[in-house]
Amino acid sequence: MKKYLLGIFLGFLLLGAFIPTIENMAAPQITDTLVILHPHSSEFADHVIDAFKVWYTTETGNDITVTTSVKYSGDCYADVVTWNGTNPEADVWWGGGEFYFEEARKANLLEPYEVVEDGNISAYLGGWHLKDDSDTTPTWYAAAMSGFGIIYNTAYLTAEGLDVPTTWASLADPQYFGHVAMTDPDLSGSTVAIVKQLLQFMADEHSGSEITFAANVTSAWELWVKISGNIGTFSTSSSKVPADVSEGNAGIGLCIDYYALDIMVNNTDIGFTYGGATTVSPDPAGIIKGAANLAPAQKFMDFLTGTAGQTLVGDYRTPANFKAGTASHIPKAFTTTGAPNTAAFPIISPFNPAIDGAIHSRAETLFHYWIVENHDDLKAAWEKIISLNDGSQKDDAIAALVKLPADFNGTMAGLVALKYKDSAVTGNWTAHGAAQFAEALEIAGKGGAIPGFELLIILGSLVVLIPLLRKKE
């Protein structure tokens, strides 16, 4: 009997060696899921998403699998419209421009959700919403912001003996002839934003604290003609401009800020300035209507717009949360108290987003058909003009060069009234540009310096004629 009991006891001991105790048994780990639709680079997006996954596990106790769908901004919006709140293939839409998100909000394609740090994100900056403009629970928040300015290559400028540009007006300086790069606005939304921001910055009529449609913007268009005279060629891609400046193919370029900021990390020759004035481009995020993974989507919005997530955003872009930190080369749009930091991020004030939207296609089309289509003629005239000494001849040539088309009275309202979809109208703009640039060249050529070859012929003739005249005497 004792042997029997001993055998049972030993059996239990052996069995116990293979059965874990209650304390050692791991609780089953739950893995949640999230799908994010975005247009960002993998380097930027993964920088934020990888940190979010660690934060999420600490916050909830669950693991999470994050899948991304990367598309162009317009295609992201098109997907959200197609899903129409029914079985969407993504939960969060992150990035793409305020216009798309406002259109989605109006169509009830986004889930309302107030993030934890809502109070750290201002409602407006420079006239632009940093949250949706409804009076109910926000459906989107700015997760980053962009401005527009001037990228330059200090090594190039030094080699060419050129100054570093500091303002938009300085880009018309004759020293920069042939050294500036810009994209055709007809092919780049960010370049259209650059064209438009100068119109509001230089508008000479304000009503109270807001620019009105009566504002005259003739001086801004005149500046754009002169700047365009300094441009070597108009590129077909907004990303090519900063690449050309970085590679030394141009000394100066006009671009959205994050193109330059990305390059500056690895290229110490590259600098960037807002030129004393920039508009704001919010880059929003929101939860897609009907999101299958609503709770994880809400957590992602909390993280992305919170101080920790926004500080990670601040390694690449300007954050919207005023408590967030940034890398040393990233401009801060706010002080730590939430006031606009105009020293680092010189927003245009006053600024009217309604006017900005109304003139968008008109400014884009007018610039292309009037200026870009005649760029070679413009450059030839500008080169001749800048070779002249100051005086009435130079003034007359410049007046001809910058003359507005006949159907445009130089005001914001006049710009809105342009029939930019009419091919006969756009054809007239091209014809006007060709005629006025030819006229400017002709005026600049009258009484100007005699070209070197012709001067040699004249001098040679005098050498022959003077002895003959003396013989006749």
Contact 98, 107 (CB under 8 A): no
Count of structural domains within the chain: 2
The answer, yes or no, to whether residue 11 has pLDDT greater than 80, is no
Answer whether residue 251 is part of any domain.
yes
Residue position matching structure tokens 């639709």: 37
Contact 195, 279 (CB under 8 A): no
Sign of the four-CA dihedral 185, 191, 197, 202:
negative
* Beta bridge mates, 216: 411
Quick one: which of 362, 236, 286 has its CA closest to 111?
Answer: 286
Q: Is the peptide bond before 138 cis (omega within 30 degrees of 0)?
A: no
Question: Predicted confidence band at 27 (pLDDT cuts at 50, 70, 90)?
Answer: low
**Do 68 and 107 fall into the same domain?**
yes
Answer whether residue 345 is part of any domain.
no
Answer whether residue 327 is part of any domain.
no
Q: What are phi and psi of 284, to 5 degrees?
A: -85, 175
Instruction: State which residues form the domain around 294.
Output: 31-146+283-313
Please report which helix (H) or strand (E) contains residue 69, including its range: strand 63-70
Tokens of 49: 């998403």
**Do 251 and 119 fall into the same domain?**
no
Answer whether residue 26 is part of any domain.
no
pTM: 0.85
The answer, yes or no, to whether residue 280 has pLDDT greater than 50, is yes
Contact 8, 41 (CB under 8 A): no
Lowest mean pLDDT among 33-42, 102-111, 419-428, 460-469: 460-469
CATH of the domain at 124: 3.40.190.10
Answer whether residue 217 is part of any domain.
yes
**Do 422 and 374 fall into the same domain?**
yes
Q: What are phi and psi of 77, to 5 degrees?
A: -60, -40
Lowest mean pLDDT among 57-61, 103-107, 129-133, 226-230: 129-133
DSSP 133: S
pLDDT tens-digit readout, 441-470: 999 998 544 444 343 334 444 443 444 445
350 or 26, greater pLDDT: 350
The answer, yes or no, to whether residue 5 has pLDDT greater than 50, is no
pLDDT tens-digit readout, 185-201: 999 999 999 999 999 99
Mean pLDDT of 385-394: 97
The answer, yes or no, to whether residue 2 has pLDDT greater than 90, is no
Query: How far apart, in whole angstroms, are the C-alpha atoms of residue 230 and residue 249?
Result: 14
Last residue of some domain: 297, 313, 329? 313
**Do 75 and 160 fall into the same domain?**
no
Answer whether residue 2 is part of any domain.
no
pLDDT tens-digit readout, 235-270: 999 999 999 999 999 999 999 999 999 999 999 999
Contact 296, 33 (CB under 8 A): yes
Mean pLDDT of 339-353: 94
**Do 162 and 294 fall into the same domain?**
no
Q: In one letter, which amino acid is 167?
A: T
Query: How far apart, in whole angstroms, are the C-alpha atoms of residue 321 and residue 312?
Result: 11
Query: How far apart, in whole angstroms, are the C-alpha atoms of residue 300 and residue 282?
Result: 18
Residues 146-155 as b/e (b if ≥16 CB within 10 A, e otherwise) read: bbbbbbbbee
* Beta bridge mates, 66: 34
**Do 293 and 234 fall into the same domain?**
no
Query: How far apart, in whole angstroms, are the C-alpha atoms of residue 319 and residue 334?
Result: 9
Give CA torsion, residues 289, 295, 297, 300, to 10 deg: 150
Neighbours of 471 (CB within 10 A): 7
Residue position matching structure tokens 């070779």: 387
**Do 241 and 297 fall into the same domain?**
no
pLDDT at 172: 98
Mean pLDDT of the chain: 90
Query: How far apart, in whole angstroms, are the C-alpha atoms of residue 266 and residue 361?
Result: 36
Question: Predicted confidence band at 9 (pLDDT cuts at 50, 70, 90)?
Answer: very low
**Do 156 and 139 fall into the same domain?**
no
Q: What beta strand segments (E) does 171-310 contain?
A: 180-183, 206-207, 210-211, 231-235, 252-256, 270-273, 281-288
Answer whether residue 13 is part of any domain.
no
Tokens of 236: 């077909």
Lowest mean pLDDT among 284-288, 437-441, 456-460: 456-460
Contact 67, 34 (CB under 8 A): yes
Answer whether residue 25 is part of any domain.
no
Query: How far apart, in whole angstroms, are the C-alpha atoms of residue 307 and residue 90?
Result: 25
Q: What are phi and psi of 217, to 5 degrees?
A: -120, 25
Query: How far apart, in whole angstroms, are the C-alpha atoms of residue 10 and residue 17?
Result: 11
**Do 160 and 271 fall into the same domain?**
yes
**Do 268 and 303 fall into the same domain?**
no
**Do 357 and 437 fall into the same domain?**
yes
Mean pLDDT of 125-154: 94
Half-sphere exposure of 356 toward its Cβ, with a 13 Å CA cutoff? 26
**Do 142 and 52 fall into the same domain?**
yes
Residue position matching structure tokens 């703009």: 429
